[in-house]
Amino acid sequence: MKDFAGKIAVITGGGTGMGRELARQLVAEGCNVAMCDVSEAAMAETKRLCELEKLPQGLRVTTHVADVSIEDHLKRFRDELAEQQKTDRIHLLFNNAGIGGGGSLFTNTREQWERTFNICWGGVYLGVRTFLPMLVAADEAHIVNTASVNGFWASIGMNQSHTAYSAAKFAVKGFTEALINDLRLHAPHVKCSVVMPGHIGTSIVSNSRKVQSADGSERLNGDEVALTRKRMVAAGVPNADKMSDEDIQAAFAERARSFLEDAPTTAAQAARIILDGVKAEQWRILVGEDAKRLDERVRATPEQAYDRAFYESFTQEVGWRLG
């Protein structure tokens, strides 16, 4: 697929981050976009940004509220898309929606763990299941599944568990790689790519908290304050055990800000890399120099990948301040 003009793209998690930037750049290239998100307000802003420049006549940008972990939501999204976009086929599927959280089998609840896993993995699986007939109906199509560097390296540091997200992203990577031959055998006009970003400037930290808590607030609840304090103590943050609840709230807010604003790769840059990768029919798209370097390191010394020396030397090399 060498260009996107006149095509129809589906984007999950289109309200913020890479999903928003994918929508903006696709629309700028003349592609119709149907996006879903749990936040109607966030999608409205994405749509507004897409329409800042007058859309070509007939180009459609539609928004649909859906939780990608719930199959009935995705089926409703598909049916609304077919009606509003006036189509029985799509050309691009970006399974982009994801959250963090539920990192530990010990300190997080089963509900938190499964919420992360069911969105990050289940949303990809159900997205492909739901939209595959519409992709096959097109003359050419491409599935783009967002994994992560945590799809080949299950860590964000020595002092923080990261099991739910990592398990989900490993599943996304394996699923997409298996799809290569499944599509080749049964629908050769449909291609697929697995996207593995490093640290990208998105709102995933604050968005994950909103989705996990279901209260839509930017602030931590009492249990989250206690857990955050415990993590900070374990990470060796000076006097973390003596910090007030408001100090903990401020530390969480700063982490969310820093993850968004201080990342080595912006969401817009990430979207451009992804779209260029689709045009080049790359089945494996690493996003960011940190992702490329980490991939090289893990492949070179897999037995040392979870040693402290590996993590500390890597974070020093690329400037990560996570975990």
Q: Which residues are catalytic?
A: 165
Determine the 3-state secondary structure of 121 from DSSP: helix
Distance CA 258, CA 50 (A): 26
Task: Let me know: does 229 contact 243? Beta carbons within 8 Å.
Answer: yes
Distance CA 24, CA 14 (A): 10
Task: Let me know: does 61 contact 25? Beta carbons within 8 Å.
Answer: no
Q: Which of 191, 193, 194 is nearest to 170 (CA)?
A: 194
- Let me know the angle formed at the C-alpha of 49 by 195 and 79, rounded to the nearest 5 degrees: 65
Distance CA 245, CA 234 (A): 17
